[in-house]
Structure 1
Amino acid sequence: MRTDATTRRRGVGQAVLDRIVADARAAGVTRLLLETGTGPMFDAAHRLYARNGFAPCRPFAGYVATDFNRFLSLAL
């Protein structure tokens, strides 16, 4: 996900992530996995995910690890 530049730093990304986590829990999901990019453009996303308990994990679902992606997981 990416927040539009005009609405960044207003909690929009956190609100979207909160909804994803809440819906996943309500559906009985026990773990969330995500793949994201690397580099300065993704620093804010990495901080958001870390603040919310996401931790590095191995690639999943056929993804291949490269220098340009990261894999994160959150136990629910």
Structure 2
Amino acid sequence: MELSDAVSTIEYKISTYSTHFNEGFVLKMDIHPGWPSEYELQQKLQRMYPFMSIKYHFLDNEVMQLSIQKITPSSFS
């Protein structure tokens, strides 16, 4: 999957859950191995959403899961 497609998918998911996407809310979605690297995705999205944490998790059943969490500037100190 191209980086721009992955970003569009994440933006759509965030807009779908926008009323719940507050500090501490974790949005999870299953993804496939063809997604861009966690680093590439983090770099691209941090320019648009500076207070967002993005992590890949590898589950026992060989499924990858993406966790997106809104954080506050105070979380960095």
Do these two structures clear the TM 0.5 threshold for a shared fold by scoring above it? no
TM (norm. structure 1) is 0.39
TM (norm. structure 2) is 0.38
Higher strand share: 2
